[in-house]
Structure 1
Amino acid sequence: MSWASRRRERDRGLGQERGIIESHPDCSSRKPRNLNPPDASVATPAATARIIPRAAHAISRSGISPNALRVLYRLREGGFQAFLVGGCVRDLMLGLEPKDFDVVTDALPEEVKRLFRNCRLVGRRFRLAHVFFGRDIIEVATFRATSAPSQGDEPLPEADPEDGEVPELDAPQLEIEPAAPPARPPSQRAARGGVGHDPGASAALTFDASGRILRDNIYGTIDEDVWRRDFTANALYYNIADFSVWDYVDGAQDIAARTLKLIGDPETRFREDPVRMLRAARFEAKLGFQLDPATAKPIGPLRDRLAGVPPARLFDETLKLFLTGHGARSFEVLRRRGLLAGLLPTVDSYFNSHPASLVEKLLLQGLKNTDARVLADKPVSPTFLFALLLYGPIAGIIESTPPERWHDPATILDACDRATREAQTRLAIPKRFSLGVREMFALQPRLEHVRGRRALRLLEHPRFRAGYDLLLLRAEHGLAPREMAQWWTRLQEVSAEERGPMADALADEGGAPRAARRPGRRRRRRPRASAPA
């Protein structure tokens, strides 16, 4: 027997002694498990995992990021357990290419940091370790334990996001310190019930009065950690020790059935973290899964809980919903589930009062165009996204003014500012994006009524391309002159020498004529200032 085989047999034997492993290669014949986590007030018995061996699943190391493998192996060499977990395992099971690889271990964050010099600890609500490989970041979390909420804890400041924004490192090479022995062997951690506390974290597990988790830094074992996962499809653990998949909650079965099912009581889990409702909508749109009826039921009544989520988190979730290749489907799911009212109330209100409007068709087409750019690996712009999302509220504010003021720049800018301020009650939209929205809308009347060679100067405007794309969408849906959109397209296609005559011809043809002087009137010359004595 080889050394690797002996180690796999040893690990499997240790797991069976602790009562947390049950070998079961055929996952389709098992009955569904009870998805309610054990009562935290009672000692948690070791859960039983279904082990899916390498021969019974489709995950290959060739589909795993080399950097993630290096982290897994380094943790393993340091004497710790190491698993891939979450969406990357789900996507690999589906034959998709994961975007990110998340690692979970029984090593505490400080112990992870001792193993990797290129590591930084981030987050207060969830203490995490980020291991840097140039621009690639592998996130390493410690097993969490289950615990009941304690009321009356103060919420974190809204400016403190869940995961800290970390700078990118230039060094592409991995720097590893010599292996250091773990502070406590994993066996000792399991023997004491799996609960630990990181001295570097500011608090352990705290909840607010509504049941929302504020901090979560109580550590445990893998059979406790599974109950802290959100959906069964995201609760699969890929074990680097023997390349098996550990399944506690029939996640593999739900993936095969393309069902999205929340672990535990759905209402309680959504109260703990209302963002889980947005994640459910995102996975429904991204994967084409169907929400389990019990999971879908409390979403409508609890959607207003999103108002208590820090705006920075909701901004991040909005980008994930709309800028990762499934934005059009995400919008439809948010509308159908009633979540758009919790995320962007003014946008939802506009479409409720303007059903099947041209603006909604414009928004969906713009999101489809954005999805196509993502799939083609082209850059996408949050500024353009928020111009699409806020188009309805901005148009509604403009239409509430007298018609003669609809093309007035002051009216347009005021409408943009008001719509953005209302959206910022839920989303922390950065100023660089809100200013970009103003500039895009301010360009629209200029693009529609341009005259002469001013058109050439507009080509140099930093927001011209975004404003032009919005003009094309508006013209396609009858909200702007189609001939002007076509003219701007031709102007960009011709050579630089031909652009001047094209701009001159536009005024001559009457497309945007120069204002004529009244007959019989001459412009009065200003008298020259007299020379000083």
Structure 2
Amino acid sequence: MALSASKLGISSTSINSQALTIVKALTKAKYEAYLVGGCVRDLLLGAEPKDFDIATSATPEQIKSVLPSTRIIGRRFRLAHVHFGREYYEVATFRAPHDSSDKGKVGQEGRITHDNVYGTIEEDAVRRDFAINALFYDVQNDKILDFVGGMDDLEKRQLRLIGDPETRYREDPVRMLRAIRFAGKLGLSIEEKSEAPIRELAPLLTNIASARLFDESLKLFHSGKALPVLELLREYGLFECLFPATEEALGKDKDGFFKALIYDSLNNTDTRINAGMSVTPAFLFAVMLWKPMKKLEAAYREESYPDLQAMQLASSDILAQQVKSTAVPRRFSNVTREIWLQQSRFEQKSHRRAMGFLDNRRFRAAFDFLCLRSVAEKNVELQADAAWWEEFQRVDSEAQIEMCNSAPSAKKKRRRSSSKRRGKPRT
């Protein structure tokens, strides 16, 4: 089915100029080339696309011959990245159904291990995951091409897998996470047949590379709709595949403080993202793993480790556990650890220490974390610390000295024995 793009409210003036350059260059070279996927979907929904992906009849090598700035990437799924300075645009060759060749292998559990069988635009549409992501925009002829009923799904505000849902989820279990992300972000319902296998097939995610699941986690929780996404993930049993220790802690969260911390944090994250402000994965993991880390810290203390060492060991252990599910890069996990370790410094209000802490590069993230904790945990002492440090940042140097001089002395903690038992603590 071909529909007039302009009558649907889409104009080529709303398309990124560099994406248009790619499409025009390929069509001029006598190849088919269309905008496809999320950018077309978002334009039809009246939203501003984040990315502009392109599908073409040209092979990666042919794309590179037309556009020399192209870099060919991938082994399981070969793609062309067309570079414009530091930016690049993804250009994919039309895919066809798998055959018995080495280019189209499927593993024992139904997962696609090689995906480089090329075909026609009609075959490519059927190979895509959801019908609303299989719409093509023919810029040259002002047409929206719909081969799988994606326009009907957009009208129904529903998400529907193309083909047999169980087979498609087994081909790539990450499609279950994508279903949740699109449903939460776009406010769509998941079509009944597409929804049915998710809970049963959720464990397949444990076979996905943890590095890929880290990337998917960021897409889920940095989508601007993290709260509805979290609720859907938990409803369908997918969250525990990404954050097993967090799901366990939430199940034992009798006072609701941990859930409140996560919800307040994700609400703040959504607000920042929707306002165009930056966020860091380190903060997300600091929140998600706070209670599991504190549980392990308490176990180390029971083994007579000093307070600081107990938290250091617990931090390292819980992050090492998490990496098995989602491979958090060290540049983020190190910041997460710092945010946790800085929490005790908010009790130290001598002028020298306070000024030194204020200059610490992780102060702002640690302070934001303290503020979230003080509200979520309904802790009067934490709230007092948050209020003190909030004022300390606002006042001039003389007032800062006065605040430090009048601050109550930090409670002296019992000095713990330095003797330690060998091995891991009992949890």
The amino acid across from 1:124 in the alignment is: R
- Percent identity between matched residues is 41
CA distance, structure 2, for counterparts of residue 264 and residue 474 of structure 1: 46
Contact 2:348 2:354 (8 Å CA) reproduced = no
Native 8 Å contact 2:349 2:404 kept in 1? no
Tell me the residue number matched to 2:57. Answer: 106
Q: Would you say 1:141 and 2:40 are equivalent positions?
A: no
Q: Closer, same or farther in 2 for the Cα pair 1:263/1:424, shift >3 Å?
A: same
Aligned to 1:52: 3
| TM-superposed deviation, 1:259 | 0.1
SS in 1 for 2:137: strand
Pick the structure with greater CA Rg: 1
Which deviates more from structure 2 when the two are superposed, residues 51-60 or residues 386-395?
A: 51-60
Give 1:213-292 correspondences, 5 Å limit.
213-292=112-191
Q: Which residue of 1 aligns with 2:16?
A: 65
Deviation at 1:120, TM superposition (A): 0.9
Q: Which runs of 5+ in 2 are unaligned?
A: 414-427
Q: Residues of 2 paired with 1:407 and 1:287: CA distance?
A: 48
Name the residue aligned to 1:512.
410
1:306 aligns with 2:205: yes
Q: CA deviation at 1:255?
A: 0.7
Q: 1:482 aligns with which of 374, 383, 405?
A: 383
Aligned to 2:422: none
Which residue identity does 2:214 align to in structure 1?
F
C-alpha displacement of 1:56: 3.6
Instruction: Give the structure 1 partner of residue 401 of structure 2.
Output: 500
1:505, distance to aligned residue in structure 2 (A): 2.3
Is 2:36 aligned against 1:85? yes
The corresponding residue for 1:181 is none
Judged with a 3 Å threshold, the aligned counterparts in structure 2 of structure 1 residues 363 and 330 are, in CA distance, closer, same or farther, namely: same
Q: Deviations over 1:489-525 (max 9, x none)?
A: 001111234323322222xxx252789xxxxxxxxxx
C-alpha deviations, 1:116-140, integer Å up to 9, x for none? 1221111112111111122332110
> Structure 1 residue aligned with 2:338, among 417, 429, 439?
439
SS in 1 for 2:113: strand
C-alpha contact (below 8 Å) 1:439/1:463 kept by paired residues: yes
Q: How many equivalent residue pairs? A: 411
TM superposition shift of 1:449: 4.2
Residue 105 of structure 1 deviates from its aligned partner by 0.3
Contact map agreement 1:399 1:406 (CA 8 A) in 2 = no
CA deviation digits over 1:37-59, x for unaligned, max 9? Answer: xxxxxxxxxxxxx1112354221
> Which residue in the other structure is 1:321 paired with?
220
* Worse-superposed segment, 295-304 or 405-414: 405-414
**Secondary structure, counterpart of 1:249 in structure 2:** coil
Asked if 2 retains the 8 angstrom alpha-carbon contact of 1:451 and 1:512, the reply is no
Aligned partner of 2:416 in structure 1 is none
1:469 to 368, 377, 383: 368
TM-score, structure 2 as length reference: 0.92
CA distance in 1, matches of 2:251, 2:412: 42
Map 1:328-477 to 2 at 5 A: 328-354=227-253, 357-400=256-299, 408-477=307-376
2:56/2:93 contact within 8 Å kept: yes
Could you say which residue in structure 1 is the equivalent of 2:424? Answer: none
Which AA in structure 2 matches 1:504? Answer: N
Aligned equivalents of 2:100, 2:167: Cα separation in 1? 11
Structure 1 letter corresponding to 2:402: P
Take 2:148 and 2:220, find their aligned partners in 1: how far apart are those partners?
26
Residues 245/454 of structure 1: CA separation in 2 closer, same or farther (3 Å cut): same
Distance of 1:266 and 1:314 partners within structure 2:
21
Contact 1:311 1:425 in 2 (8 A): yes
What amino acid is aligned across from residue 142 of structure 1 in structure 2? T
Shift of 1:396: 2.5
RMSD: 2.0
Return 5+ residue gaps in structure 1 as ranges.
Answer: 1-49, 151-202, 516-533
Shift in CA distance, 360/407, structure 1 to aligned 2, threshold 3 Å: farther
| Whole-angstrom distance in 2 between the partners of 1:497 and 1:118 | 58
State the alpha-carbon separation in 2 of the partners of residues 514 and 418 from structure 1. Answer: 27
- The alpha-carbon distance between structure 1 residues 355 and 225, as it changes in their structure 2 partners (threshold 3 A), is farther
Contact 1:456 1:503 in 2 (8 A): no
* 1:210 is aligned to 2:161: no
User: Does residue 1:122 correspond to 2:73, yes or no?
Assistant: yes
Structure 1 equivalent of residue 421 of structure 2: none
Give 3-state SS (helix, strand or coil) of 1:59's partner.
Answer: coil
For 1:138, the aligned partner's letter is Y
Q: Deviations over 1:183-215 (max 9, x none)?
A: xxxxxxxxxxxxxxxxxxxx5112221111112
Hey, which bits of structure 1, 4+ residues long, moved more than 6 A? 403-407
SS class of match (1:462) = coil
Instruction: Using the TM superposition, give the Cα deviation of residue 149 of structure 1 relative to its aligned residue in structure 2, in angstroms.
Output: 7.1
Which amino acid counterpart does residue 103 of structure 2 have in structure 1?
Answer: A
Calculate the TM-score normalised by the size of structure 1: 0.74
Secondary structure in structure 2 of the residue aligned to 1:84: strand
* Equivalent position SS for 2:200: helix
Match for 2:88: what amino acid? I
Q: CA–CA distance in 2 between the matches of 1:353 and 1:471?
A: 22
**Structure 1 444/404 Cα, relative in aligned 2: closer, same or farther at 3 Å?**
farther
Q: Which one is further off, 397-406 or 289-298?
A: 397-406
Asked if the contact 1:448–1:481 (Cα under 8 Å) also holds between the matched residues in 2, the reply is no
Higher mean alpha-carbon deviation, 258-267 vs 59-68, is at 59-68
* Contact kept in structure 2, 1:398 and 1:406, CA below 8 Å: no
3-state SS of paired residue (1:255):
helix
The answer to whether the 8 A contact 1:84-1:101 is kept is yes
CA pair 406-491 structure 1, distance change in 2 beyond 3 A:
farther
